[in-house]
Structure 1
Amino acid sequence: MKTKTRWKNTEVLVLGLARSGTEAAKLLYRLGADVTVNDQAPYEGNIQAQELEKLGIKVVCGGHPPNLVHSGLKALVKNPGIRYDHPIVEKAVQLGVPVLTEIQTAFDAADCPIISVTGSNGKTTTTSYIGEMFKEDGPKAVVAGNIGRPASEAVQSTDSSDVLVMELSSFQLLGIDTFRPKVAVLLNLVDAHLDYHGSRDEYIRAKKQIFRYQTSDDYLVYNEDDPAVVEMVKTSAAHKVPFSLKRDLPEGACVKKQAIWLFGKELLSLKEFSLPGEHNTANALAAAAAASIGGASKAQIRKVLRTFSGVEHRLQFIKEWKGRRFYNNSKATNVPATITALKAFEEPVILIGGGLDRGLAFDELEKYMGKVKAVFTYGETAEKIAETARKVSVKNVKTFEILNDAVDEAVGCSEDGDVILLSPSCASWDQYRTFEERGDTFIRTVERLTAETSTGGQK
């Protein structure tokens, strides 16, 4: 990590703590800045504010005094979730004070190459793929950003021989002024977070930030199959590396002759690829290209593509048991995410869904239920999803109060060759605090039920 940066002897305000703000404040303080942190939560019980104060950092809690922002500030570093119409942020903009996020401070301190990943979907899977592709040889990868640990924390454990792999959201990318990854990855673009950005154009502008400061010495891996992405990258100065499921691309990554190809050479057959669904294949193409450019070996890339079981709760393969395969897609908190999962399988699917009722319909699922042989639902939306399944004549449809009972029924009626898929289409908050907690419940229930049946238990 570099310690001589633009932040020495400068005055910086960090707005909003949580984990990213706390780590940004620590890093800036270590780099020699005069740091003040401001958080809405009262000082009493604010463990992060108390921790920072013990380090010698000034803390202001319980409100946002306007006088914290003045023309002498070098920058305001804000939590990505804080909107730009926040009064403190608006004042900084009016005074010409740069408004940044912690990924910029991490970049300022990094003396190793950075691979950064953004897109509307698939960021976490692709970032995780890349991290795994460096595990056994090549540079050491430190994974951070919108996944796991804040970049401002992670960068402090790197040196010049490492590679920093960062998942980046549009919220984070808005707050940069020099951030320049060696390899940027742009996966796809669909309308998202428009309540935050205000319009599709502003959302696109935020995503384009990932390559805004790149030069011809850098690389931009992009989705040749997404027309919006193709249009976006026209303004990039970086060396462009495309990936595609549809076109032969000797200069990038593609699918050809039922195999994954990388830079004009066959890497492995699709039969060897470990994850279901074209969306996962696309993520793998992007990851393979980025990791290869970053110094990962072809052997390790190939190994990861054969063995990677997915990111937790995102179409995560759990196990195969008596010819059945179990997948945890608890992260599917809306209908489009479940549609993506259903499109990933050719085998008969037993679908488990349900959760918080937000008053939305599930009609869009109907035309994707052709391979669904049974639907078991639970929670507040149990009857709504069940009715959708009945409309398309799914033969076995039942509703339950809790997830565990739905899983029990799914295992009991399953046959050799079936996929048992948790893909709820709903938020978890009717019965679980998080989608992670819901997914963990599914995994534990599967393990219990399959253990019981394999040892001559209840079923």
Structure 2
Amino acid sequence: MMDRKKLVILGAAESGVGAALLGKRELWDVWVSDAGKIKDSYRKMLEDAGIAFEEGGHTEEKIMAADLVVKSPGIPEKAPMIKKLRAAGTEICSEIEFGFRYKGKGKIIAITGSNGKSTTTKMTYHILETAGYDVSMVGNIGNSFAKQIVEQPTEWYVMEVSSFQLDDIQTFRPDVAVLLNISPDHLDRYDYKYEHYIKAKFNITRNQTAEDIFITNKDDKEINQYLLTHPINARTLFFTMNNDQTNNQHSDTDGAFTENDQLHIRYEGEDTTMSIHDLSVKGKHNQYNSMAAGISARTAGIRSAKIRESFSTFEGIAHRLEFVATVRGVDFVNDSKATNVNSVWFALESMKKPVVLILGGQDKGNDYQEIKDLVAEKVKAIVCLGIDNKNIHTFFESIVPNIVDTQSAKDAVLAAYSLAEKNDVVLLSPACASFDLFKNYEDRGDQFKEAVKSL
């Protein structure tokens, strides 16, 4: 038994507090340490549960005495305290790993990828919920996994997971793992080595066996390259836009594809079909998300009629190609969640009108080459929204005639509106993190929407 062993939680936000509550239930000696200020709602949860904590700094002696440390996914490996714990040989795990150890019989559909995670997670959850399943949505969207286990365990967990959460797993094993795509992101956390980031994403399959299912994108170059040299134990199902059900040693004819504007989901002899025009969310990226969600739902035993119904009733997520308003013939679209270049590619690809693009923020080592052709084809002006915009100017000044700088959402909206004409679209799709000017991407999107409404 692990009775009264010392559990230290580093970070007291959603995942940390969830792990603390679960640790308390499982009779660990729990202590929470946060270098910053703990949000009032989380402080109250800890106090109500009688869990000891500190904020505004770390007491090294107490942390180094831990038998197990659960660290926030936001804490990088290069943090001094993590280096000391590693040197001492202390076990460190992520909150999803800690939750997995106590989840009981519940089944997990875990979804990762550089883009589309939140939409696909919410869509998969929506299908299972519509079908009457006992299901919760956890991870980076909804409750933390550990907190859900404490408050209301369910038969199914649909989980959005990031590479940071997958970095510190040991036994975490989803029944269904979904890898949507891989494009450069968060390279600052991976020593600017793309191969390290790719490996982190594939950690989702690390502990899977032949009894499990891995669902992934046949059209993604990085995924296909990795699979050539890294065999996957789980049964692998592909989704594709090319209807190329090419077999390898792990695949079979089940999977999902689009053909002649029809979306097909094939599983165990049943072919679920519907027109892509009947999907409630539009754009090629959402066809990929729908295929991934649909095949995940079929592996969970959900029938075609429920999947079709769910696809037509699903409401997209805030800050992801969210239509805001039309002002004097100019459409405004909030895609603040687009924090990398590949997200912007999908956003621009789905635009049918001339675009005034609001771009910029905290650059994570962006290479804009990927969107160069789409920008040349569709973008008439760029409004920079960030403290340091020189990379955007350098790359796009020979392609886009108008590039202006702003440092607030209100100014960005006013500048974009002045550059737009009737039947244009103003698209906030920044390709960058938001922390230079905003609390997070939600704050950036909310301020954008407020600025549009005040026009």
TM-score (norm 2): 0.81
Q: Is 1:404–1:441's contact at 8 Å kept on the other side of the alignment?
A: no
Hey, what does 2:345 align to over in structure 1? 339
- What is the aligned partner in structure 2 of residue 436 from structure 1? 442
Q: Is 2:180 the partner of 1:192?
A: no
CA deviation after TM superposition for structure 1 residue 383, in Å: 10
Counterpart mapping for 1:7-406 below 5 A: 7-41=2-36, 48=42, 52=46, 55-61=49-55, 62-66=57-61, 68-70=63-65, 73-110=66-103, 111-160=105-154, 162-198=155-191, 199-233=193-227, 234-249=230-245, 250-263=253-266, 265-318=271-324, 326-333=332-339, 335-345=341-351, 347-354=352-359, 356=361, 366-372=372-378, 374-375=380-381, 377=383, 379=385, 391-392=398-399, 402-406=411-415
Mean Cα deviation higher: 286-295 or 401-410: 401-410
AA partner of residue 107 (structure 1): F
Report the equivalent of 2:248: none
Distance 1:236 1:157, change over 3 A: farther
2:344 partner SS: helix
Q: Tell me: CA distance 1:311–1:236, structure 2 relative to 1, closer, same or farther (3 Å).
A: same
**Amino acid across the alignment from 2:214:** L
Q: In 1, are the aligned partners of 2:283 and 2:350 still within 8 Å (CA)?
A: yes
Mapped contact 2:361–2:435 kept (Cα < 8 A) = yes
Indicate the residue corresponding to 2:249 in structure 1: none
Deviation for aligned residue 1:354: 4.5
* 1:348-395 CA-partner distances (Å, limit 9, x unpaired): 22324145486989787552235537436365689997998774476x
Listed one character per residue, the Cα deviations across residues 27-58 of structure 1 (whole Å, up to 9, x for unaligned) are 11012212122232479x98756753553333
Q: 1:289 to 1:377 in 2, by over 3 A?
A: same
Worse-superposed segment, 112-121 or 192-201: 192-201
Q: Which amino acid aligns with 1:123?
A: K
Contact 2:109-2:159 within 8 A present in 1 as well = yes
Aligned counterparts of 1:63 and 1:430: Cα–Cα separation in 2: 25
Identity over aligned pairs, percent: 32
The alpha carbon displacement at 1:99 in A equals 1.0
- Bigger drift between 125-134 and 55-64 goes to 55-64
Which secondary structure state, in structure 1, belongs to the residue aligned with residue 136 of structure 2?
strand
Aligned equivalents of 1:34, 1:433: Cα separation in 2: 33
Query: Which runs of 5 or more structure 2 residues have no equivalent in the other structure?
Result: 246-252
Q: Distance in 2 between matches of 1:390 and 1:219?
A: 46
Compared CA separation, residues 55 and 357, structure 1 to 2 (3 A): closer
Q: List gaps (5 residues or longer) in structure 1.
A: 1-5, 450-459
Determine the C-alpha separation between the residues in 2 that align with 1:129 and 1:448.
Answer: 32
Between the aligned partners of 1:197 and 1:23, the Cα distance in structure 2 is 26
Q: Given the alignment of the two structures, is residue 414 of structure 1 paired with residue 422 of structure 2, yes or no?
A: yes
Aligned residue type for 2:21: K
User: Is the contact between residue 413 and residue 448 of structure 2 (CA under 8 Å) also seen in structure 1?
Assistant: yes
* 8 Å Cα contact 1:125/1:283 also seen in 2: yes
Question: In 2, Cα distance between the equivalents of 1:321 and 1:406?
Answer: 14
| 335-344 vs 349-358, which moves further | 349-358
Alpha carbons 2:380, 2:400 under 8 Å: kept: no
The secondary structure found in structure 2 opposite 1:185 is strand
Instruction: Tell me the TM-score normalised to structure 1 length.
Output: 0.81
Task: Give me the whole-angstrom Cα distance separating, in 2, the residues matched to 1:356 and 1:37.
Answer: 32
Residues of 2 paired with 1:134 and 1:324: CA distance?
Answer: 37
Offset of residue 195 of structure 1: 2.7
Residue 254 of structure 1, CA deviation = 0.9
Task: Indicate how the Cα distance of structure 1 residues 350 and 191 shifts in structure 2: closer, same or farther if over 3 A, else same.
Answer: closer
Structure 1's 397 and 425: CA in aligned 2 closer, same or farther, altered over 3 A?
same
1:399 Cα offset (Å): 7.6
Deviations 1:86-140 (A, max 9, x none): 4443444344432111111222222311110112222112112111212322313
Cα offset, 1:227, TM superposition: 3.7
| CA 1:142–1:170: 2 relative to 1, 3 Å | same
If you compute each CA radius of gyration, which structure gives the higher value, 1 or 2? 1
Give the total of aligned pairs: 435
3-state SS, counterpart of residue 148 of structure 1? coil
The CA deviation string for residues 232-278 of structure 1, in whole angstroms up to 9 with x for no partner, is: 45432212111111134441011123211001624212222343432
